Structure 1
């Protein structure tokens, strides 16, 4: 079990874990979760509850392991007033996940997960009209989460966990119209999570989870080909910054009207208001000045359904409304997004030991008109249009 998790950690570190997200949060933690719009924290558990609600591990028997991969292909068009519209580069980003859960007795369960909670991937042609702000931005974030589940009564459990979050930030933009500057830095931050799972009846169960904020201070290097006589020396050297990854509250309610059908409603409130500014310093000084973000707290609301077609096959579907934390008057080419709607479906097969799940999501980003983007002391008026993404996920699990 430990070897599987170690391999998964290595794969996550090497993969490009960037996607378009509301803000830059990620909820694609298993193929079953993808198929159900992420609404998996209160209902029938599998090993991926290490990520969605560790308290629900107490509904599992023996030892269970799961690993899988999601592929995300996003697209968006940006139109800057008076300039030609530009399409984002076509990329496919990979999001691996891996979990292991072991029952330690009648009251205790131990789990560990490696997955992505934050990520961002935005890439345009390096000469697009907004290149003075950014033409490439990437956040690679990997969470390693050990968790403990405890059964307090026959129908009430709690979960406690820690999170080590590896955070890597890269940004590329143009300076002086023709020269490049690249800033890259990374760090590891630590947070905690608390959760509970309560099933008062056979047809109703509830889940609640809190994730703390995590402070990270990426440190690395800045590199520019701007000549020294134009000030290039100020754009080369040590780089550092700081950001608070937001805390969040998640609540899930699952109703099982029959043995074959379950319906779950989930809501997550994320404290994006902690992201007030982006301050990237080079040799102790920010040459471009502090970028004010002033994001707002945001909701993610989802519903998922699972229906047992046969004793071995399950059909799933989901819908999510994901609110953006980015204000129209503080828009950002690095996060060219708006409120999102997600439409999901999927299929699962299982026997006594194995399960294989497939999930698909079409993500629709709502258009944003007249956004204000602050660039080098000026303001662009921009429209974000035709944003969408396709997400395909597969997970394989084994129980023993």
Structure 2
């Protein structure tokens, strides 16, 4: 019984899901606008600016002057719910929120370079309406990871470079859901709110090889990061002889691991005008099989503490995503970009939740870079994201044979318009 109560309330308490960013699962890709223009097809093998520190730290060796890059991505999501089990399910649950980033890179000498990056690799904001029929499975979610990455790179010879950067990752989140008091001989609804945070450490490493004067290959490894979130679970509004006993605040902890990824790509300079890109990314989503939350000091009923340990199955699987792209150097001031990406969802229909209603997605991108002089470049990008239909079918939760969290099912049809703007200045 202890794993039933609050199960969906605490599910994904740290699952930072980018519901409609350019990345699937719990990842987002808004770390480079110049890369977004080609749907990140050449992320590990192309060097446009200091944002390569994230895409492939080895690429810093190709930046010949100190430079700073900063910008943001903005996502306008459209979530349509069909065949919902509750007619109050409107689906308008993703507010428009900017995702910022900043990078600095500088040569030390002819072989060594260094840099510093500040970016958001994972983020979520979703806010369903108060009457949302799936509020017992998840009503409000806000989770973000902010990463600081100092980086060093070394040019081994004229064709081979390597790079390495430790990552310092701050994660924090807040989630809210409801419970039905009438099922426990009360009235109204119980509000369950969770907060937690932690700092975790990892690293990014890469190699970049100029196979020929026209062809460049890159490989980047982003390590897993282990977190132990410490925070609290707050329960308010509990009514009746059962839920009223749980009103209060409890210390909570959660072990969580973000998965490692391997990104490889090629960049081919066809001529002075055309450059082609192709890439693939492997993500070890199978690390996310189950989430378990431990609450301390919780009361007992009939000798049991039904909110002492809470678990939620995810059953995610590993994925491969793919992208192709091209750029065209129109003149010395303007470069035009386009790209297409295919990014599968790690979640299956039987385990998908209202907090993570994502499906297999296709992304089409356009971008442009404008350099009015050798010191300044302004990049802009637009992407249209469309997902296959994603089915959610979450069952009801019971306590002592009574339904305290009604089930919810719906078919999510998600799409999004994504825009980004960044500036690079060279000293």
TM-score w.r.t. length of structure 1: 0.91
What is the CA distance between 1:52 and its match in structure 2? 0.5
In the alignment, which residue of structure 1 is the partner of 2:288?
275
Secondary structure, in 3 states, of the residue corresponding to 1:242?
A: strand
**Residue 262 and residue 344 in structure 1: after superposition, are their counterparts in 2 closer, same or farther (change >3 A)?**
same
CA contact (8 A) 1:183 1:222 kept: yes
CA contact (8 A) 2:17 2:27 kept: no
Secondary structure, in 3 states, of the residue corresponding to 2:156?
A: strand
RMSD (CA atoms): 2.1
In the alignment, which residue of structure 2 is the partner of 1:183?
194
What is the CA distance between 1:384 and its match in structure 2? 2.9
In the alignment, which residue of structure 2 is the partner of 1:356?
378
Aligned equivalents of 2:39, 2:179: Cα separation in 1? 41
In the alignment, which residue of structure 2 is the partner of 1:367?
389
Aligned equivalents of 1:375, 1:289: Cα separation in 2? 15
In the alignment, which residue of structure 2 is the partner of 1:217?
228
In the alignment, which residue of structure 1 is the partner of 2:418?
391
Aligned equivalents of 2:245, 2:322: Cα separation in 1? 48
**Residue 127 and residue 179 in structure 1: after superposition, are their counterparts in 2 closer, same or farther (change >3 A)?**
farther
Gaps of 5+ in 2: 1-15, 182-188, 299-305, 399-404
CA contact (8 A) 1:55 1:196 kept: yes
Once the two structures are overlaid, the 10-residue window that deviates more, 168-177 or 55-64, is 168-177
CA contact (8 A) 2:166 2:204 kept: yes
How many residues were matched structurally? 384
Question: Does the alignment pair 1:173 with 2:195?
Answer: no
Residue by residue over 1:339-379, the C-alpha shift from the partner in whole angstroms, topping out at 9 and shown as x without a partner, is: 1111110111112100000011111121124x432442589
Aligned equivalents of 2:210, 2:406: Cα separation in 1? 53
CA contact (8 A) 1:77 1:86 kept: yes
Aligned equivalents of 2:420, 2:245: Cα separation in 1? 45
**1:236 alignment partner, one of 249, 254, 258:** 249
Aligned equivalents of 1:195, 1:34: Cα separation in 2? 20
**Residue 17 and residue 373 in structure 1: after superposition, are their counterparts in 2 closer, same or farther (change >3 A)?**
closer
Which one scores higher on RCO, CA 8 angstroms, separation ≥ 6? 2
CA contact (8 A) 2:65 2:106 kept: yes
Residue by residue over 1:102-152, the C-alpha shift from the partner in whole angstroms, topping out at 9 and shown as x without a partner, is: 100011110111111111222211221111110112221111111111101
CA contact (8 A) 1:17 1:116 kept: no
**2:351 alignment partner, one of 318, 321, 330:** 330
**Residue 76 and residue 41 in structure 1: after superposition, are their counterparts in 2 closer, same or farther (change >3 A)?**
same
Question: Does the alignment pair 1:71 with 2:92?
Answer: no
Aligned equivalents of 1:127, 1:225: Cα separation in 2? 18
In the alignment, which residue of structure 2 is the partner of 1:12?
none
Question: Does the alignment pair 1:25 with 2:27?
Answer: yes
Aligned equivalents of 1:80, 1:382: Cα separation in 2? 8
What is the CA distance between 1:18 and its match in structure 2? 6.0
Question: Does the alignment pair 1:197 with 2:208?
Answer: yes
Aligned equivalents of 2:387, 2:244: Cα separation in 1? 38
**2:153 alignment partner, one of 126, 149, 153:** 149
What is the CA distance between 1:82 and its match in structure 2? 3.7
What is the CA distance between 1:28 and its match in structure 2? 1.5
Aligned equivalents of 2:396, 2:385: Cα separation in 1? 29
Question: Does the alignment pair 1:339 with 2:360?
Answer: yes
What is the CA distance between 1:336 and its match in structure 2? 0.8
Aligned equivalents of 1:61, 1:88: Cα separation in 2? 46
After TM superposition, what 4+ stretches of structure 1 lie above 6 angstroms from structure 2?
A: none
Secondary structure, in 3 states, of the residue corresponding to 1:273?
A: helix
TM-score w.r.t. length of structure 2: 0.85
Aligned equivalents of 2:76, 2:172: Cα separation in 1? 21
Residues 1-150 of structure 1 correspond to what in structure 2 (within 5 A)? Answer: 19-21=19-21, 22-39=24-41, 40-79=43-82, 82-84=85-87, 85-150=89-154
Q: Bigger radius of gyration, 1 or 2?
A: 2
Aligned equivalents of 1:336, 1:375: Cα separation in 2? 18
Residue by residue over 1:7-58, the C-alpha shift from the partner in whole angstroms, topping out at 9 and shown as x without a partner, is: xxxxxxxxx9965351110111121112110123212331100110010111
Gaps of 5+ in 1: 1-15
Aligned equivalents of 1:232, 1:212: Cα separation in 2? 44
Residue by residue over 1:133-182, the C-alpha shift from the partner in whole angstroms, topping out at 9 and shown as x without a partner, is: 10112221111111111101100001111011111121100012522111
Aligned equivalents of 1:97, 1:139: Cα separation in 2? 17
CA contact (8 A) 1:45 1:59 kept: no
